[in-house]
Amino acid sequence: FNSWNRKRLPPGPRGLPILGNVLQLGATSQLWLIFDKWKYQYGPIIYLNMAGQNIVVLNTKAAATELLERRSAIYSDRPRSIVADYLGSQLSMPFTRYGKSWQSMRRAGHAVLNARISGQYQPVQIEEAIILAHSLLCDTSSPLLAKINRSASTIISVIYGKRSLSSGEPEQVFDDAPQAHTPPVYEKLHLTSDPLQTLSNIAHRFTSAVYPGAHLVELIPILDYLPVAIAKWKRDAQRDYKRISNIFERYFDDAVKSDPQRASLCVKLADDQVASGLTDTEKSWVAGSLSVAALETTSTTLSFFLHAMILHPNIQENAQIEIDRVVGRSRSPTSADMVHLPYVRAIVKEVLRWQPAIPLAVPHIAMEDDWYEGHFIPKGSSCIPNVWSMNRDKDVYGPDADKFHPERFLFQPEKGAEFALRAEYENDDGHCSYGFGRRVCVGRHVADNALFIDICTILWALRIEPAVSTNSAARRGSSKDILNPIPNFHCRIFPRFPEAEGLLQHLRDDVVHSRTNITGGQ
Ligand code: HEM
């Protein structure tokens, strides 16, 4: 672009010649914290240069809404990531470029996950919430994090059906996960005999590959011409692509053949009218990339929920008073209770606001030269929505924006009266954590329903207290990952009332029994 336009680029920190801001960003984890500081220095929109690549950080909801939503016709492409491309990102809906193939995938995703259809998955979500609450209380052998990860099986049951995924033929399983004491490295894929763990590892393989500056080749693309014999990153990525594709295809085929209730998302996708224009491989990648997009986001959010409950016992108690009044103690909550439980709904909104699972969402590419409030945005710029700062904007949420405070979404007609959701939040998320425009999270309705019923069932049955050393939710994720790392915290979990444990056991036995009947004991 010409020097006149160059002078009109958005403000930002000065970089070095050629390298630009690489040194300020390249070695940094949790970039959102730096962007948050820069927001106060440079304003709502910041320009950065990563070795010639233009990056525009959008720090306010107003800027992101104007560009990514109102002008979504020219802001819906994704950046090209060389490593992610080798991993198969062009088959993976969240990372694929804007075009015909994305449109077909998105249409199929929307057909099986829209607000209306999402209601159909609520019965299975209720069952999974019971299994989760039961395991939090009764499974004393697994670490807390493993149990929270299980919680994501809600979404996996929705996608692949109630029968748990098979771990596959022995020769297709590689138990080469790093030992528990070594920090995770996601530069190669670790497959395990546990399908949920494998899907979660695939998620991290992608989310760490697309972290800005994670691989040198993204900054110096000429390195892509190196032959595989000396380019280990390329060899690993090509091998992982084949492994991922095999897994997705096998899980999809299994789900379509053996979902006895024919209710899973895979069965719907197998129908050519729902997923028109997609090959079988593409369908299996739609299901696979939905589960990958769903898993870590949902379990990260639930981990932060538990953390918030330890930090704020009074909020836990307020929610439980509401649940006792509306649901009582003789039955567990259902989705029909949602409208009568504004306090619990406010907790769901607040966890998503306070700790977004993907604090910088996923970048959108400007497909044309553009202007925003006098600033020039060059064609090809990678526009990063700084959701972290948007969700903590003091102009929107007030001076306590950094605090976990669900009551910001509520009002009390008079002191001591029951809480009600503020009218403006009935249809407004109250956060930006699901992203923007044409690339907004396609699974948000299913995610909201799953989070509501999981959180509500946990609060109905259990009391969560801080502890010194039991049940540690250890920090997870590599330092360079687009996912919000889970803090290291400890908690103890008790039944909330004397009958809770018996009731939970009974409900969980019923779920297991009904599934054994459905699957003929498989
Ligand atoms: C707490 C839960 C979740 C959070 C915070 C979350 C967040 C996000 C974000 C920030 C994006 C990028 C939006 C953008 O580019 O502007 C996204 C995209 C996506 N999400 Fe989610 N998500 C969640 C759950 C789910 C679930 C449950 C599913 C599937 C069942 C899902 C499937 C997807 C897919 C397929 C995309 C890519 C959409 C596209 O590029 O067209 N997500 N999500």
Cβ(93) – ligand 1 distance below 6 Å: yes
| Residue 173, pLDDT above cutoff 50 | no
Give percent of the chain above pLDDT 90: 57
Cβ(202) – ligand 1 distance below 6 Å: no
| 174-195 tens-digit pLDDT | 333 333 333 344 567 877 777 8
CB-based burial of residue 331 (10 Å sphere; 0-12 exposed, 13-18 middle, 19+ buried)? exposed
Q: Average of pLDDT values for 273-290? A: 87
Which CATH superfamily groups domain 3-518? Cytochrome P450 (1.10.630.10)
**pLDDT tier, 115 (very low <50, low <70, confident <90, very high otherwise):** very high
Are 210 and 482 in contact, with CB atoms under 8 Å apart? yes
| Residue 283, pLDDT above cutoff 60 | yes
Counting ligand 1 atoms within 8 A of each CB, the residue from 90, 156, 434 with the most, and so the one to mutate, is 434
- Choose among 446, 460, 448, 447: nearest CA to 507: 460
| 335-381 tens-digit pLDDT | 999 999 999 999 999 999 999 999 999 999 999 999 999 999 999 99
* Most confident residue range from 47-56, 113-122, 218-227, 333-342: 333-342
| Residue 505, pLDDT above cutoff 60 | yes
Cβ(443) – ligand 1 distance below 6 Å: yes
Cβ(362) – ligand 1 distance below 6 Å: yes
Q: Which of the pair, 440 or 206, is modelled with greater confidence?
A: 440
Cβ(265) – ligand 1 distance below 6 Å: no
Closest residue by Cα to atom 24, ligand 1, is 294
371 vs 520: CA distance, rounded Å: 61
Rounded to the nearest angstrom, the distance between the alpha carbon of 294 and the centre of ligand 1 is 7
Rounded to the nearest angstrom, the distance between the alpha carbon of 434 and the centre of ligand 1 is 6
Counting ligand 1 atoms within 8 A of each CB, the residue from 303, 441, 453, 483 with the most, and so the one to mutate, is 441
Q: For residue 60, what are the CA distances in angstroms to 75, 397, 432?
A: 16, 12, 10
For residue 290, the ligand 1 atom closest to its alpha carbon is 29
Mean pLDDT (the chain) is 87
Task: Please name the helix (run of DSSP H) or strand (run of DSSP E) that holds residue 508, with its range, or none.
Answer: helix 500-518
Rounded to the nearest angstrom, the distance between the alpha carbon of 292 and the centre of ligand 1 is 10
Rounded to the nearest angstrom, the distance between the alpha carbon of 195 and the centre of ligand 1 is 21
Cβ(94) – ligand 1 distance below 6 Å: yes
Q: Average of pLDDT values for 6-25? A: 86
**pTM for the whole thing?**
0.91
Cα three-residue angle 463-469-473, rounded to 5 degrees:
70
Q: How high is the pLDDT of residue 211?
A: 77
Cβ(156) – ligand 1 distance below 6 Å: no
| ipTM for the predicted complex | 0.99
For residue 451, the ligand 1 atom closest to its alpha carbon is 1
Rounded to the nearest angstrom, the distance between the alpha carbon of 416 and the centre of ligand 1 is 38
Are 64 and 29 in contact, with CB atoms under 8 Å apart? no
| 461-503 tens-digit pLDDT | 999 998 876 555 554 545 667 889 888 888 899 999 999 999 9
Phi and psi torsions of 369, nearest 5°: -60, 145
Cβ(348) – ligand 1 distance below 6 Å: no
| Residue 386 token pair | 């700084």
| 71-107 tens-digit pLDDT | 999 999 999 889 989 999 899 999 999 999 999 999 9
Rounded to the nearest angstrom, the distance between the alpha carbon of 283 and the centre of ligand 1 is 18
Q: How many CB atoms lie within 10 A of CB 418?
A: 14
Cβ(358) – ligand 1 distance below 6 Å: yes
Closest residue by Cα to atom 31, ligand 1, is 443
Q: How high is the pLDDT of residue 363?
A: 94
Q: Average of pLDDT values for 193-217? A: 82
Rounded to the nearest angstrom, the distance between the alpha carbon of 439 and the centre of ligand 1 is 8
Rounded to the nearest angstrom, the distance between the alpha carbon of 510 and the centre of ligand 1 is 32
Rounded to the nearest angstrom, the distance between the alpha carbon of 289 and the centre of ligand 1 is 10
Rounded to the nearest angstrom, the distance between the alpha carbon of 454 and the centre of ligand 1 is 19
Cβ(83) – ligand 1 distance below 6 Å: no
Cβ(384) – ligand 1 distance below 6 Å: no
| Residue 149, pLDDT above cutoff 80 | no
Closest residue by Cα to atom 18, ligand 1, is 441
CB-based burial of residue 37 (10 Å sphere; 0-12 exposed, 13-18 middle, 19+ buried)? exposed
Q: Average of pLDDT values for 141-145? A: 77
Cβ(440) – ligand 1 distance below 6 Å: yes
Cβ(294) – ligand 1 distance below 6 Å: yes
| Residue 425, pLDDT above cutoff 90 | yes
Q: How many CB atoms lie within 10 A of CB 472?
A: 15
Are 345 and 284 in contact, with CB atoms under 8 Å apart? no
Rounded to the nearest angstrom, the distance between the alpha carbon of 497 and the centre of ligand 1 is 36
| Residue 392, pLDDT above cutoff 80 | yes
- Integer distance in angstroms from the first to the last C-alpha of the chain? 63
Q: How high is the pLDDT of residue 312?
A: 97
Q: How high is the pLDDT of residue 180?
A: 38
Cβ(56) – ligand 1 distance below 6 Å: no
Give percent of the chain above pLDDT 70: 90
